[in-house]
Amino acid sequence: MILLFDFAILIFVLICAVAAITVKDLLSSVIILAAYSFLLCLLWAGMGAVDVAFTEASVGAGIGTILLIVAVSKTTRRSKD
């Protein structure tokens, strides 16, 4: 674990989390959530949890984003908050 690297990625993760729940458009919120998942994957690879990073990159960021995009495209993109 490199201290500065870790801290910078944690700050990016926080920014992505706040942006994902404040953006009004649901599709861009989902894409920001995918970026959040990949930043977490980078953080776990830095902590030494390689298998968890692989699983998050394939399952959490891949399949989860696809499921959310399918749900948004079958419903609506607009959100009031």
Among 5, 8, 10, 25, binds other proteins (CB under 8 A): 10
Q: How many residues bind other proteins (CB under 8 A)?
A: 43
Among 4, 12, 14, 42, binds other proteins (CB under 8 A): 14
Task: Decide: is 8 part of the binding site for other proteins (CB under 8 A).
Answer: no
Distance CA 60, CA 66 (A): 10
Task: Decide: is 12 part of the binding site for other proteins (CB under 8 A).
Answer: no
3-state secondary structure 57-80: HHHHHHHHHHHHHHHHHHCCCCCC
